[in-house]
Amino acid sequence: MRYWLMKSEPSDVSIDDLARLPNQTVAWYGVRNYQARNFMRDDMQTGDGVLFYHSSCKEPGIAGLARVSSAAYADHTQFDPQHKYFDPKASLETPRWFHVDVQLVRKTRLLPLTELRHHPELQHLRILQRGNRLSITPVEAGEYAFIVNLL
């Protein structure tokens, strides 16, 4: 089992939106960074733990726990010319972008980025590293367990 931090802008999909969706599950669509795509396509497995992170908002932070609930599959938004995530180089035969489904485990208190920075146990957490802007990053098992205890 692996662990991940996955960022979502609350204006797009928040933890509360996820809780209201059928089966409390969302396709993690719109990732257009190759490294983040490769994490989903090559490394994520059903059952992996997810720290659901609110980004690009007034108070960014971890807002809940989720799990990967599907294997990677082609992100359909890449094929829709009317969608903001359309990719003219992608085709049904050779998709470029993939995503997984993510299912809510539980909403938690918001654990803000500022609080994460105060714990030396999390000094290597990728979201805390200067210059890291990836929307999906791996989390070490010890870091994940530490964070869950803070929630």
pLDDT at 133 over 90: no
Strands (E), 84-139: 98-99, 101-112, 136-139
- pTM for the model stands at 0.93
pLDDT at 131 over 90: no
Instruction: Decide if 65 contacts 51 (C-beta within 8 A).
Output: yes
Helices (H), the chain: 15-20, 34-38, 113-116, 141-150
- 30-87 per-position pLDDT tens digit: 999 999 999 999 999 999 999 999 999 999 999 999 999 999 999 999 999 999 999 9
The kind and range of the H/E element at 50 are: strand 49-54
* Pairing status of strand 25-27 against strand 61-68: unpaired
**The pLDDT of residue 96:** 96
* pLDDT > 70: percent of the chain: 100
**Where are the chain's structural domains?**
3-150
Please give the Cα distance from 81 to 84 (Å, whole number).
8
How far does the chain reach from its first CA to its final CA, in angstroms?
20
**The pLDDT of residue 137:** 96
Q: Does the domain formed by 3-150 have CATH 3.10.590.10?
A: yes
What band does 127 get if pLDDT is binned at 50, 70 and 90? very high
DSSP for residue 132: -
What band does 128 get if pLDDT is binned at 50, 70 and 90? very high
